[in-house]
Amino acid sequence: MLKGAIICPDEDLSEKLEELLAGIGVVAVVRTIPRYPNTSELTRALRASGPQVLFLSIESLNKALEVAAAAEEQLPGLQIIAIGRTADPATLLEVMRSGVREFLSYPFQRQAVYEALARIKEVLERKPVLIDSTDLVFTFLPSKPGVGTTTIATNTAVAVSRLPEQRSLLIDCDMNSGMVRFLLQLENNYSLTDAAERAAHLDENIWPQLVTTVGHLDVLHSGKLNPGLRMEPSRIQNILEFARRSYKAIFLDLSGNLEKYSLEAMQESKRIFMVVTPEVPSLHLAREKIGYLRSIDLADRVAILLNRCQKRSIVSAAQVEELLGQPVVMTLANDYQGVHKAMTAGKSVEANSDLGRQFAQLAQFMLEKKPAHEQKKRLMEYFSILPSPVSLFTPGKKSAG
């Protein structure tokens, strides 16, 4: 179904059209504006709703033509259908000269509307609307609880948001034990639950109420503990569809329980960062999860973040790669004091600390500021703390529980 928007100061006319469109079922109206918006308002509305068809009232011809020109500039390929109660030949000629090829007059005839939509649909199939939408969506998946995934997701998102022209969003998708709200000491009562309830109707007026801005980063926390909540995968898809048009980079902190909506988030993401620690339980569960992700064709997106590495770690990054069959793109030092200090203050890790610089390097890698293979090599050379090779499971010895 096509997505449509209506701009019409005549509310009665707008309602009549929307009722007819609902009955026909070709276009779903996602936004209605009961006035001619200025360029700034129009830009926000189009970016938020991403319509393919715009029904534009020509009640005030000059204003309508200004809106049409601005809309086409914002969304190349957007199909515009003029609507009105009456229109003289001179007005219709002016509308056609502006590039608008369809006009619907009131009372709307179902067959005429259907035929106009069929022509519009055919045009869109040949030349889709060019909607500016980011592909920089990243999910963070823990191998098991307590490996530091939220700390990494939060601080990496902050590091990316500090880069020029990188408006970023962090979403806490852990509905059972989400920690982003606690880590950043957020007080916003609205959460992912509220966004999910409004997922099909998100716009530039609702969204700012749902998120909290921390520096240059917008954060949508998971809300209070709600283990009974079941979120439909389509809701997270709608949220991401909206967010892709509004942000340059999007980060999702997942629970690790592989809920259906989490799998949907991973399907939507460019890269899945699995966080592991150099411990047998973490590595065992990581291998289990990667096996499952491989069964649903997602393993090729998985990259490993090896967290809490120490000089005497018994497992090297190379061994982790061999065991899991996935690349270790970065190892992160075990800076307990730095993380604890940041957590107590409700802030991100100090940017000029060793761990803070690692997050900055990871941010650069994620945005592919340099070729991925070169970046990975440099990161591993600079940050990896690799002990002498040892066997992961030494024969005759039991691993510590």
User: 58 with 158, same domain?
Assistant: no
The confidence score (pLDDT) of residue 196 equals 94
The answer to the question of residue 396 being in a domain is no
Q: Based on the structure, what is the number of domains in the chain? A: 2
Averages of pLDDT over each 10 residues, the chain, 401 residues: 96 97 95 94 88 96 96 94 91 92 94 96 94 92 95 95 93 90 93 93 92 95 81 93 94 94 94 95 96 94 91 83 94 86 86 90 84 47 39 40 36
The answer to the question of residue 401 being in a domain is no
The confidence score (pLDDT) of residue 387 equals 36
The confidence score (pLDDT) of residue 370 equals 53
User: 197 with 216, same domain?
Assistant: yes
**pTM: predicted TM-score of the whole model, two decimal places:** 0.76
User: 231 with 376, same domain?
Assistant: yes
User: 12 with 103, same domain?
Assistant: yes
The confidence score (pLDDT) of residue 333 equals 84
User: 82 with 190, same domain?
Assistant: no
User: 80 with 157, same domain?
Assistant: no
Residue 24: CATH number of its domain: 3.40.50.2300
User: 64 with 143, same domain?
Assistant: no
User: 72 with 147, same domain?
Assistant: no
- For residues 270 and 161, give the distance between their C-alpha atoms in angstroms, rounded to a whole number: 18
User: 109 with 170, same domain?
Assistant: no
The confidence score (pLDDT) of residue 384 equals 41
The answer to the question of residue 390 being in a domain is no
The answer to the question of residue 312 being in a domain is yes
User: 104 with 143, same domain?
Assistant: no
Residue 174: CATH number of its domain: 3.40.50.300
User: 109 with 163, same domain?
Assistant: no
The answer to the question of residue 398 being in a domain is no
The answer to the question of residue 145 being in a domain is yes
Query: Can you give the residue range of the structural domain that contains 265?
Result: 137-383
The answer to the question of residue 168 being in a domain is yes
The confidence score (pLDDT) of residue 348 equals 85
The answer to the question of residue 399 being in a domain is no
User: 18 with 82, same domain?
Assistant: yes
